[in-house]
Homo-oligomer: A and B are copies of this chain.
Amino acid sequence: MRVRLRDLAESLGLSVMAVSKALHDAPDIGAATKERVRAEAEKRGYWPNQAARSLRSKRSGLIGLLVPDLASPESSGIAGEILKSAENAGISVMVGMPGEKKGGEAAQVKAMMGRGSEAIFILPKISTEHRSLALEAVTQAGLPVIFFQRYPADVGPGRARVSWVMRDMGQAAQLALDHLWKLGHRKVTYLGGHPAERSHAEHWRAVREGARQRGMEMEGEPIMAGLRPEDGEREMEKILEKKSKPTAVICGNDEVAAGVARAILAAGSKIPEDLGVIGLGDGELAKHGPVPLTTIGFSNLGKAGFELWMTIREGGEMKPRVVGCELIDRGSTGKPGE
């Protein structure tokens, strides 16, 4: 932290205020002066002390982002989208990854608010129960909160300054079913995720409804046994031992689908000839896992959330948003029994 406004002011023979205004391109400063100031600032390598700035003014140009981890493609993907949007808008981001330590989330949120964050973005963990503590502190302080992908059960649209962006799981289900239906599949199994997880429950429900409407048979109960590849692998092994088998498996995410694919190949069956697999998310494993996966890709959730906040910041509405999706055919689905 070297050069201050005062240093510039002194060497230019101006007041601190004039320099500040010039750098902010205020309308009441002469063009010639502005130019002189800018040149000097450039020459001496000035950059503003944001701590001092946000102590004084309301806008800090800083947001806080809470992530559960960065290992899963889901969270690192969304986090990356947010960081990119933030850079384009000239906004800085503090990132916190609270561990299991009790009160860790609240502590991180307080640190973010203490540094002047204008909003808190939260990528919740799957279990969203104990979220409320952190949320309490934030909303009490009057900061807007944006949730991504899921949100705790106890917040409703009535709650002050809380909003969220979600993926359209209903559309995702329809796309998958349409695709399979057109190929000729009439019997499918659902292999999903965490039942307490609203978006996954919704996905499953939409698949079941959509299948019923089309007159498609759902083989077996929905299997909600986790979202990791090993979960998919384990459950698929069980399915393969049964007499009655589906012709395709709709998965709750790409990781489960990767595990499913591995189990199918390990059993000596072929994809898509013997069994079709369809993922969700278009992540790394959909492209480079056991087989290239037909999957559902969503449009940019992080960007949508960031834009939602920008709207709110300018006084706009807090209405939650839903982003759409498209089917990406990589050949892990085909006509059944071919």
On A, residues with C-beta under 8 Å from B are 1-2, 45, 47-55, 60-62, 65, 67, 69-71, 73, 76-77, 79-80, 83-84, 87-88, 90, 92-99, 101, 104, 107-108, 110-116, 137, 140-141, 229, 255, 258-259, 262, 284-285, 287-291
Contact = CB atoms under 8 A, between A and B. Distances in A.
B93 A47 contact: no
B96 A94 contact: no
A100 to B, nearest CB: 11
A142 to B, nearest CB: 8
Nearest to A229: B288
Contact of A140 (B2, B54, B80, B97): B2
Contact of A71 (B52, B76, B111): B76
A93 B95 contact: yes
A62 to B, nearest CB: 7
A271 to B, nearest CB: 12
A70 B62 contact: no
Given A76-B76, A92-B115, A114-B48, A97 B70 contact: no
A80 B87 contact: no
B97 A84 contact: yes
A93 B92 contact: no
Contact of A92 (B73, B83, B87, B94): B94
Contacts of A65: 95
Given A71-B80, A285-B285, 11 more contacts: A1-B113, A45-B137, A48-B114, A53-B114, A71-B284, A92-B94, A93-B94, A93-B96, A94-B94, A255-B288, A289-B290
A52 B50 contact: no
A114 B70 contact: no
A338 B284 CA distance: 32
B45 A49 contact: no
B97 A92 contact: no
A65 B90 CA distance: 16
A87 B93 CA distance: 16
Nearest to A232: B288
Contacts of A291: 290
A114 B284 contact: no
A285 B287 CA distance: 11
A114 B288 contact: no
Contacts of A49: 55, 114, 116
17 contacts: A45-B137, A45-B140, A48-B114, A51-B55, A51-B114, A51-B115, A61-B111, A70-B77, A70-B80, A71-B77, A73-B284, A83-B96, A92-B111, A92-B115, A93-B94, A284-B285, A290-B291
A169 to B, nearest CB: 23
A330 to B, nearest CB: 12
A52 to B, nearest CB: 5
A104 B87 CA distance: 8
In this complex, the member of A47, A53, A79, A98 whose beta carbon has the largest number of chain B beta carbons within 10 angstroms is A47
A260 to B, nearest CB: 11
